[in-house]
Amino acid sequence: MSETTTPFSARQLRYVAEHTVGDDAFLIRLKRAARAAGIPSIWIAPEQASLMQILLRLARAREVVEVGTLAGYSAIVMARALPPDGRVRTIEINPERAAFAESWIGRSDVAGKVEVLCGSGEEMLSRIAANSADATFLDADKSGYPIYLEHSMRILKPGGFVMVDNAFAFGQLLDEAPTDREVSAVRAFNEVMADEARLHSVIVPIGDGLWIGVKR
């Protein structure tokens, strides 16, 4: 028996990107300003952003919680996929980054739809009510992922979904001698996700690997 799986090449990935909407002028300016402000240039790929927006639209999501704001790119992208009364609450532990994101969100087309919560993921998530979120997006310190996932299970409504970034551990997931110190945390988390019976999950090989898990 053979399963139809086309190996994913760099050329095919480029083709995907070329057939997906890229950043608009505002997001390009945001990235440039973040670089100038010394914020790490870490962004979800535009094709990953599109996939996340499509999922949020299909789910008619209204309440989204993100862990790991950084410069606010993904929070803005997600907010754009929500209805006018939708809201992204995005948690950032670093006050300078939270302030940067807040100022750029304030000048964006989704200014009224994003709230930046400055504090640790665990602390801020613990303040969010159970069964109140349609979706969560985990994209912060990888060793915190298991705790953020537990909170996601609590705050997500039944049928809500969690998205988790970096399932491929910055491309080093299967390396024998990875150099990034977070790789082991990603590996351990991937096992937690794969074993989490309360979720129907899959890793989508887009960007650096995106976990999607629907709460049963």
Strands 199-204 and 87-92: unpaired
Rounded CA separation 83/50 (Å) = 16
Rounded CA separation 107/47 (Å) = 24
Q: Rounded to 5, what percent of the chain is helix, strand, coil?
A: 45, 20, 35
Q: Report how many residues bind ligand DHB under the rule CB under 6 A.
A: 6
| Site residues (CB under 6 A) for ligand DHB, limited to 101-140 | 139
Rounded to the nearest whole angstrom, what is the least distance from the CB of residue 166 to ligand DHB in the complex?
5
Asked if 139 touches Mg ion (CB under 5 A), the answer is yes
Asked if 165 touches ligand DHB (CB under 6 A), the answer is yes
Two structure tokens written together for 55: 């999922």
* CB of 73 closer than 8 Å to CB of 27: yes
Segment near ligand DHB (CB under 6 A); pick from 45-53, 59-67, 72-80, 163-171? 163-171
Q: Which of 47, 208, 210, 215 binds ligand DHB (CB under 6 A)?
A: 208
Rounded to the nearest whole angstrom, what is the least distance from the CB of residue 73 to Mg ion in the complex?
11
Rounded CA separation 160/132 (Å) = 9
Rounded CA separation 190/31 (Å) = 29
Asked if 69 touches Mg ion (CB under 5 A), the answer is no
Rounded CA separation 180/36 (Å) = 25
Rounded to the nearest whole angstrom, what is the least distance from the CB of residue 103 to Mg ion in the complex?
22
Contact code string over 141-180 relative to Mg ion, x by CB under 5 A: ------------------------xx--------------
Q: Which is nearer to Mg ion, 48 or 108 (CB)?
A: 48
**Rg for the chain, CA atoms, rounded:** 17
Q: Which is nearer to Mg ion, 94 or 132 (CB)?
A: 94
Q: Which is nearer to Mg ion, 132 or 146 (CB)?
A: 146
When CB distances are held under 5 to 8 angstroms depending on the partner's kind, the choice from ligand DHB, Mg ion, none that residue 170 binds is ligand DHB
The burial of 59, by beta-carbon neighbours within 10 Å (0-12 exposed, 13-18 middle, 19 or more buried), is given as middle
Asked if 166 touches ligand DHB (CB under 6 A), the answer is yes
